[in-house]
Every structure is written in C-alpha cells, then in structure tokens.
Structure 1
Amino acid sequence: MSEKIRQIQEALQNAPELLAGKKVAAGFDGFVDSIVKVVNYKTDNAGTVFFRTIGEFGSYISSKSGSGFSLESEELVQKLGGNMPIMVNAMAGMGTSVNCVGAFGVPHVAPAFAGMHANCMLYSYTNPGFTTAMEFTDGKIMLAQMTDLNHADWLIIKQTVGLANLKAIFGTADLVCLVNWSELDHSNSMWHGLLTDILPGILSGQKHFFFDLSDCSKRSHEAISSAIKLIEQFGTYGKATLSLNRNEANILYKTLITDTPPADLQAVGNKLFTTLAIDTLIIHNAKISVAWDGDGTYVAEPAFIADPKISTGAGDNFNAGYCMGKLLGLATGECLILANATSNIYMNTGESPGIAALASYFSEQ
C-alpha cells in the first residue's frame, strides 16, 4: 500500500471529525439537465441503434450538408444540472454542509432541485437554464438554453439573496467554490462583487478558493483574461486553485501565452503554472490528471472506463473529490487521487459516492 493511499484511507476514516465545523460556499449557476442518446437508426431485429461516438455523429451530420434532416433522441433521465449543483450535491453526500447561491428557480425552487442532498442550503436568485446533454462513449455535446441566467448579475444576486446573507455565506466559509464561469454572461460581475462587497475586512490567507472555468470556447480572450485577473485577486484572501480540462487548458494557453499549445499536457501545465499567480493548477482528462503547486508536480492516472453509465457530471465529481480532499486536510497529490476515484465511481455507478463507497474503493487498492 502506498503512503498516499494510506493517508487517504485515514482521512476517510476520520471524515466526520475532520469535517465538523467546516463551512463551504458555492456559486453561481443552476441548470436542469436532460440526458439523451441520439438515435442513428432503427431495425426490426436490433431495435434502436444509437450513435456511439461524436465522430460517428459528426460524420452523419456532415453527410447531410445541403439538405434538411431530423434527429430523434431518447431521454435517459432529467435531473438537476449545472457544474455547481452537481459538484456540491456530491460533496454534501460525502458529509459536508454547503451554502449554495445559484439559479434554482424563483419564486419557488424548481422540482429538479428538490432532491438535492439535505446538507445543501439553497439560496436562489433566478430561474435555471435547461441543458440537453447528448452522451456518447467518447464525450458529450451540451446544448444550453440560458433563459433568465443571461440577465442575472451581482446586483440581482444582492437584491434577491441579500447582502447580509451573502456576507454570512461567503465571508465565513473555509472553502469557496466558484465554477461554470463560461456559462454565465455576468460571471465576472459576480466574482468582482465578492471581491468588493464581501471579502474586504476578512482575515487574509485563511480560505481556500476553487475555480473551474468550464468550456470557455465561446468567450472572448478579453473576458477570459479578466477572469484570470479576478482569480489572482482572490489569492489575496487565501489559496486559489484553478481546475481545467484539456480543452480549457489549451484555450487558456492560447489566451495568455499566445502560442500553439504543445501536445504534451504536462508541458502545457508547466507553462501555465509559471504564468498564473495562483497556488494550485489542475489539468485533467480521461487518461491523466496533473496538478502543480509550490511544492511540485503531481500525476495520477484514472481507471479507464470503456462504457460509462453516465459521463455528464464526471468533471464535477472530480472537482468534488478534490475539494473534499482539501477539507480533509490532504496534500495536493492525495487530493488528485481522491478526485479520480470520485469521478470513476460516479461514471461506473451513475451515483456520486459517499465516504463509505470511497473507503471501500480504496480498501481494494
């Protein structure tokens, strides 16, 4: 048994004690997700045959160029969605309480969020978006309808949730999770609002801030650069961690370094980490997860899952596992291993693992 696995096992065993009194705050998105598979064709013998890969689906669409065509999808499940709700729901299931400021519905919380874990306290400022997530064996395509989310900014949050509540939620939290920046038109306004209205006056250096930009392909270089500057400002009040997948890392590389990203993921991260004024950088994909901090570089390889039961939310569960590791006092390398385990269990079972499931997983390592 490696020393890192032993440290994780010990932390999981002592999780209730270690989490007692920990405060977590998160914002600011919220979606209802319709998880679907896209129909390729139907036969009398084989029944319905779905597109297996994005490449197969893309080739089919390209072959229809110049003509109209229709697609049929089959809904597998409709559930709560958005990076923040999925992530915090997973963390809550591991035993921590989370104050969640998000788009859960007004004046009443939407039915999709009624099943969120009891450890989640919801503060809603607008109605959720709606996402159709087309799942394939090699990835997913997300089609989002943003509705009221595109119009909500920090002023709306202050008016709806109340400044006193926001100060209590974010000002006293040990860990602040700010995710899905790319899906919110006014995300920079929200982050700037925390920096100007909430954090000044708190004891500096005592918090952990966790950020995930999400797929920022549609956002301008100017907006991305502004977001990075805001993340670096959060470092004034604590330790800032930025989590990226490979696509997001490449976009950030092109934005900040203005060069073609190298093929090697670690080379991308090496350059980004020396460019960013943050405490920890994480880059992960289906084959490898790498983290950088002031003490070194850490590599962890997730188990390969050829046919996941669900892939939408895998990255959010990865982030949940990493943040749970930080709450449990684990070092960056152990947090990375815990993140991979959380994501792997989720993809295999379709459910976010609790502490018992994680302990069982590591007992077999």
Structure 2
Amino acid sequence: MDYRQRALQELSEKRSNQAGKRVVVGLDGFVDTILHLVDKRSGAGENFSRIETIADFGSRVSAASGKSANIEMYPRMEKLGGNGPIMANAMVSAGFPLRYIGSLGNPNIAPVFQDFAKKTEAVSISEPGLTNAIEFNDGKIMMGITRYLEDITYGAIVESMGEGALLDELSRSSMIALVNWTMIPNMTQIWEDLLNKALPMLPPIDGGRSFFFDLADPEKRSESDLVTALRTIGKFQNHGNAVLGLNLAEGQQVSKAFGIDEDGETPESLKAMAAKIRRELGIKALVVHPKERAACATKDGEWCVEGPYVENPKITTGAGDHFNAGFMTGQQLGLSPEGCLTVGVCFSGFYVRTAKSPSLNDIDGFLHEWKS
C-alpha cells in the first residue's frame, strides 16, 4: 500500500471528524488579474503566442535596456486573490464553516469578493490590494499594490467587529489561519496583540486549537524582521498547535536566516530542512512544498510525498494556498502527517488542473484516479 492508498483509507475512516470543526482565516485580500504576455500576435483576442518562460521574459526586458519595450498583457481572468481568501475558499469547498476577516473593501465589499463575503460572513477591514499575476510555464511573477494593507491592525479588527465578537469567534474555532505576513506590515504586531490580549482569554476546545501561518515570499523584508516574525510564531505553540507552511524559496530564505545548511533540492534535504526549522521554532509542524513534492516535520519524524505534477496547468496562482488548505484539512480531520501531505498535494493538483477548489469527494476521486 503506497502513500496515496493510505491517504484514501484515512480519509474514509476519518471524514466524520469534520463535525464540529470551525475555522477563522485572515487577514489579506487582493483583486487578482491573471495575465499572459504576448510574444507574437496573429489576430484579435486569444490569437497570439505567449512568452512562455520567465527567462524569455527576462531576455526581452534586458534587451530593452537603453531603449524601450512594449509588451502586451492579455487578461485571462479577474478573480478574488490573496493568500487568505484563496485558502479560505478552498476550506469552504472542503466543507468547513468559516469566518473570514480581511481586506475585501471598505466601506463596500469589492464586487469580486461579494459572493465570498456572504458565504464566509466576512468582516472587511480595508480596501483590498491589487495583483497582476503574470503566469509562465515555469512559474509566475506577482506584481502587487499593497498600500491599503497598511490599514490592517488589531485595533482595526476590534473596531470592525467588536472585541467580544472577535473573542467569541476565536473561542469557537478549532483552526485559526493568519497568512501573508510579508504584505501586511503590521502582522507581527497583530500576532503579538493576539498573544497578549485575546488568546489568554479563550477556553480550551475539544481536540485542541491549531494555528496556521504563511509568510508569502519574505524576500523584500529584512532578515531581522523575518526572524522576529518567526520567533513570534513560535509563541503560538503555548496556546495550541502551531503550523508554518513554506514554499521552497521561503524555506531557503528561512534556512539562511537561521544558518541552516539545507537547500531542499532533494527529498532528503527537504525533510532535513523542515526538521531543522521546526526545531528552531519549537512548533508542532513545519511544512515545505516545492512544485514537485512536499515534506513536513513534527517531533515524531519527517515525511515527504511526491505530487501529481502536470506539465501544462490551467492556473498556477493560488496553488500553494490550496496545498495549505489541503494540509490543514487533513490536520483538522486527524490524518497522519503523510496523509496531510498527500491531501495537500491533491488539493493543489486538482486546482491547477481545473481552476476550481475541490470538495472532499473531489479529492477521493482524484486520489482514486492518481493511484491507478
């Protein structure tokens, strides 16, 4: 029995554990425009060949040095974006009651978020950010405007929903996800305020309370800010089970900040990276997910699974957020670490093939097909 068959069996045995689980997710929100870059046009609309790789795009830009360039961006779709909304959408599709707190529009919810806001009973704090997500066959470049996210503070959250309502929501939730540290300038202080003002007030919850964190490409932040944020995440372990999710580039940046000599380029190095960062932070679990595979570490060991790679994905923006939703869905159901990883790569694999968030029934079907 391989890891896919084991995950199928675990899902079948533990689906009922979802009863009574409730999730809070925040705190960002972006309007995403998914773009392809035109290489050569042969007609109107989609009659063009695209610039297929980041290297090709870089060559085009470099060639314009000292001259100029005119590169057409073709919009494929406009959709809700941000690490929080995409992760939340995926967890709603998986069947979790969920409350979203974030930047979806103020005073009015932005049109792209209106359906999402209704199904998540959302509390909006500020105007959303804007992202042009330029997709290539070998990755994507996210060009963002984040000015409004400066308005997200603990005080603004309390002002928007009331301190009593915030504490009530947190007290009923088995999982709290606070993502996109990089683009929310006040996030570390928000975490500190939660640790000092809110979490000590919460009653215990059956099965314990989980906290999930995502950094969202911290390259533009200073190393000292990054280390401070990571140490703050470690403090959440005193109030439940803290889980940090990283993509490979983030894992490498965190490793550099802590002087960890692992590049994560092989499965063994990836597991070692996860284990060493987890020990440094003292948290329940550390997850690192490149495109091809995913690894996690807990105090009980390390695991790595290969993902269902697809050469020509329908969409890539949001794949990591779907992995995070899948991993934490597994965690909420009580799956093994290997099972959580497998469900995570299936969430991501389903999404990049369909541009839709999966239900748990979709994941069952995906696993049946993948293992065949």
TM-score tier by shorter-chain length is over 0.9
User: What residue identity is the alignment partner of 1:135?
Assistant: E
Query: Any idea what SS the aligned residue of 1:115 has?
Result: helix
User: What residue identity is the alignment partner of 1:229?
Assistant: R
Q: CA offsets, 1:289-309, max 9 Å, x none?
A: 111001111110001211100
Does structure 2 retain, via aligned residues, the 8 Å contact 1:8–1:330? no
User: What residue identity is the alignment partner of 1:115?
Assistant: D
Query: Any idea what SS the aligned residue of 1:150 has?
Result: helix
Q: What residue is the counterpart of 2:258 in the other structure?
A: 256
1:344 aligned to 321, 346, 349, which one?
A: 349
Q: What residue is the counterpart of 1:215 in the other structure?
A: 217
Query: Any idea what SS the aligned residue of 1:134 has?
Result: strand
Q: What residue is the counterpart of 2:126 in the other structure?
A: 126
1:286 matched to 2:291: yes
- The correspondence of residues 269-284 of structure 1 with structure 2, limited to 5 A, is 269-284=274-289
User: What residue identity is the alignment partner of 1:356?
Assistant: N
1:238 matched to 2:258: no
Q: Distance in 2 between matches of 1:201 and 1:354?
A: 34
Give the stretch that moved more between structures: 49-58 or 260-269: 260-269
User: What residue identity is the alignment partner of 2:254?
Assistant: L
Residue 147 of structure 1 deviates from its aligned partner by 3.2
Does structure 2 retain, via aligned residues, the 8 Å contact 1:32–1:112? yes
Q: Distance in 2 between matches of 1:129 and 1:44?
A: 33
User: What residue identity is the alignment partner of 2:135?
Assistant: E
Does structure 2 retain, via aligned residues, the 8 Å contact 1:203–1:237? no
Give the stretch that moved more between structures: 259-268 or 196-205: 259-268
Q: What residue is the counterpart of 2:164 in the other structure?
A: 164
Does structure 1 retain, via aligned residues, the 8 Å contact 2:248–2:264? no
Q: CA offsets, 1:210-249, max 9 Å, x none?
A: 1111100001112111111111110000111111011001
- The correspondence of residues 126-145 of structure 1 with structure 2, limited to 5 A, is 126-145=126-145
Q: Distance in 2 between matches of 1:313 and 1:145?
A: 17
User: Please, what is the CA RMSD of the aligned residues?
Assistant: 2.1
Residue 19 of structure 1 deviates from its aligned partner by 1.8
Unmatched 5+ stretches in structure 2? none
Q: What residue is the counterpart of 2:22 in the other structure?
A: 23
Q: CA offsets, 1:182-231, max 9 Å, x none?
A: 11111112111211121013346821111111100001112111111111
Q: CA offsets, 1:85-107, max 9 Å, x none?
A: 00010110111111111001112
Change (3 A) 1:340 1:219: same
Q: Distance in 1 between matches of 2:272 and 2:332?
A: 29
Give the stretch that moved more between structures: 75-84 or 167-176: 167-176
Give the stretch that moved more between structures: 4-13 or 106-115: 4-13
Change (3 A) 1:221 1:71: same
Q: What residue is the counterpart of 1:98 in the other structure?
A: 98
Change (3 A) 1:195 1:65: same
Q: What residue is the counterpart of 1:362 in the other structure?
A: 367
Give the stretch that moved more between structures: 345-354 or 192-201: 192-201
- The correspondence of residues 280-359 of structure 1 with structure 2, limited to 5 A, is 280-359=285-364
Give the stretch that moved more between structures: 151-160 or 96-105: 151-160
Change (3 A) 1:121 1:51: same
Aligned residues: 364
Does structure 2 retain, via aligned residues, the 8 Å contact 1:283–1:290? yes
Change (3 A) 1:44 1:99: closer
Q: Distance in 1 between matches of 2:8 and 2:335?
A: 7
User: What residue identity is the alignment partner of 1:345?
Assistant: F
Does structure 1 retain, via aligned residues, the 8 Å contact 2:171–2:203? no
Change (3 A) 1:173 1:68: same
Q: Distance in 1 between matches of 2:43 and 2:185?
A: 47
Q: What residue is the counterpart of 1:180 in the other structure?
A: 180
Detail structure 1 runs of 4+ shifted over 6 Å in the superposition: none
Q: What residue is the counterpart of 1:229 in the other structure?
A: 231
Q: Distance in 2 between matches of 1:76 and 1:51?
A: 14
Normalising by structure 2, report the TM-score. 0.92
User: What residue identity is the alignment partner of 1:102?
Assistant: G
Does structure 1 retain, via aligned residues, the 8 Å contact 2:3–2:339? no
User: What residue identity is the alignment partner of 1:156?
Assistant: A
Q: Distance in 2 between matches of 1:327 and 1:201?
A: 22
User: What residue identity is the alignment partner of 1:90?
Assistant: A
Q: Percent identity?
A: 34
Residue 11 of structure 1 deviates from its aligned partner by 2.5
Change (3 A) 1:113 1:10: same
Does structure 1 retain, via aligned residues, the 8 Å contact 2:38–2:72? yes
Q: Distance in 2 between matches of 1:361 and 1:267?
A: 29
User: What residue identity is the alignment partner of 1:273?
Assistant: R
Change (3 A) 1:327 1:247: same
Change (3 A) 1:44 1:114: closer
Q: What residue is the counterpart of 2:115 in the other structure?
A: 115
Does structure 2 retain, via aligned residues, the 8 Å contact 1:154–1:193? yes
Query: Any idea what SS the aligned residue of 1:141 has?
Result: strand
Change (3 A) 1:165 1:317: same
Q: Distance in 1 between matches of 2:340 and 2:83?
A: 19
Residue 164 of structure 1 deviates from its aligned partner by 1.2
Residue 3 of structure 1 deviates from its aligned partner by 6.9
Residue 12 of structure 1 deviates from its aligned partner by 4.8
Q: What residue is the counterpart of 2:40 in the other structure?
A: 41
Q: Distance in 1 between matches of 2:366 and 2:118?
A: 24
Q: Distance in 1 between matches of 2:297 and 2:234?
A: 16
- The correspondence of residues 140-159 of structure 1 with structure 2, limited to 5 A, is 140-159=140-159
Does structure 2 retain, via aligned residues, the 8 Å contact 1:235–1:278? yes
Does structure 2 retain, via aligned residues, the 8 Å contact 1:150–1:185? yes
Residue 161 of structure 1 deviates from its aligned partner by 2.2
Unmatched 5+ stretches in structure 1? none
